[in-house]
Amino acid sequence: MSDPLTRAERRAATAARILAAAQVEFGLHGSDGATVRSIARRAGVDPSLVLQHYGSKQGLFALAVRPVDEVSRADAPAHLSEVLGMRLRELPPETRALMRSMLTSPEAAGVMRTYLQDRVDALAGASDAEDAELRATVLVSTILGLTIARHFVGLAALEGLEQDRIEAVVEPWLASLLDA
């Protein structure tokens, strides 16, 4: 028989449920459309617990949209292929929430700007090209544009795109930008 959860473990589990629910709600409705009540309902908790755990909807939003994947400096082409493949498949809730909100929420725009600049810096650092930062910025912006076109605009050519087609069409172009 397993030990019953401690109070701290129950509290952590509740906080995790609320955060996961917030990621889904922000992803579906953006920062303006999601409410503390809808997040609480999805998490199966009282709305007061959302505020107890996270202080405010804005505080919860900042945590919910925080990017979680890291850039690998070792192999930039493979990393770009992996990122592009992930962005053209289903988006994680926190990424969907951030992208849905970045044009209407200054806080989301700031989070996205920091996230993208980190990506640019990592890619530029993996290159010896004189214009490495510009090349990295174009690469990161291209992936952002493809992600928006696929998930939010719904361009038909990007629907159900398989990894082998990404590799055949997009990767050589992205790789040419990396090469000085």
CATH code for the domain in which residue 44 is found? 1.10.10.60
For 20, the token pair is 């996961």
The structure tokens listed for 115 are 């996230």
Tokens of 81: 């292929």
Structural domain span for residue 84: 76-178
- What's the Cα-to-Cα distance from 92 to each of 29, 50, 99, 123, 133, rounded to whole Å? 14, 21, 11, 22, 27
Mean pLDDT over 137-158 rounds to 87
Same structural domain, 116 and 173 = yes
Tens of pLDDT, residues 65-87:
765 444 444 456 666 666 676 67
Query: Do 44 and 80 sit in the same domain of this protein?
Result: no
Q: Are residues 103 and 47 in the same domain?
A: no
Question: Are 57 and 112 contained in the same domain?
Answer: no
Residues 82 and 57 in one domain: no
70 domain-assigned: no
69 belongs to a structural domain: no
Query: Are the beta carbons of 98 and 65 closer than 8 angstroms?
Result: yes
**Could you tell me which of 45, 36, 37, 56 has the C-alpha nearest to residue 15?**
45
Its pTM stands at: 0.61
Q: Quick one: 93 and 173 in the same domain?
A: yes
Number of domains in the chain: 2
